[in-house]
């Protein structure tokens, strides 16, 4: 049995296939997912699993070089924004409009849909390298 913290086989598979600058999205329950992007739906009920719980698990497995979030998160979801600032204090955070964010998700390897039901709780993780 796998020893690491992350147990979801679909997420593990997508992370293992990622190369430098590939994108993985962690999304709230409402983010539209482009039809040609792999959907990994781990939502159970409202709030479970949360965006932060899911992000923490993924960060145990994925080397992240930079992140992209919607500019609107600053005003509409300051609690999640502050958590992101803490988690990525040494990583570049790029801010784009929510419309641009949705457009960028079209180039993601996968979108992990959580049970999070708070506004703009979405992040695009850009893969780094481990060497």
Rg (CA), the chain: 14
What residue numbers does the annotated binding site cover? 28, 98, 120-122
Q: Pick the catalytic residue: 5, 9, 20, 92?
A: 20
| Integer Cα distance of 85 and 92 in angstroms | 10
Q: In what helix (H) or strand (E) does residue 78 lie, and over which residues does it extend? A: helix 78-87
β-sheet bridge partners, residue 125: 24, 67
| Integer Cα distance of 86 and 89 in angstroms | 5
81 catalytic, yes or no?
no
| Integer Cα distance of 4 and 7 in angstroms | 7
What residue numbers does the annotated binding site for substrate cover? 28, 98, 120-122
- Tell me phi and psi for residue 40, to 5 degrees: -115, 100
Q: Which active-site residues does the annotation give? A: 20
């Amino acid at each position: 049995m796998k020893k690491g913290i992350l147990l979801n086989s679909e997420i593990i598979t997508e992370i293992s296939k990622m190369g430098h600058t590939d994108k993985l999205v962690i999304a709230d329950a409402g983010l539209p997912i482009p039809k040609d992007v792999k959907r990994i739906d781990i939502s159970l009920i409202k709030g479970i699993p949360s965006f932060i719980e899911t992000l923490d698990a993924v960060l145990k497995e994925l080397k992240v070089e930079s992140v992209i979030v919607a500019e609107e998160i600053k005003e509409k979801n300051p609690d999640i924004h502050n958590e992101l600032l803490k988690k990525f204090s040494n990583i570049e955070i790029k801010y784009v409009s929510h419309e641009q964010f949705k457009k960028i998700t079209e180039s993601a390897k996968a979108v992990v849909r959580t049970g999070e039901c708070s506004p703009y709780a979405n992040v695009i993780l850009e893969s780094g390298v481990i060497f």
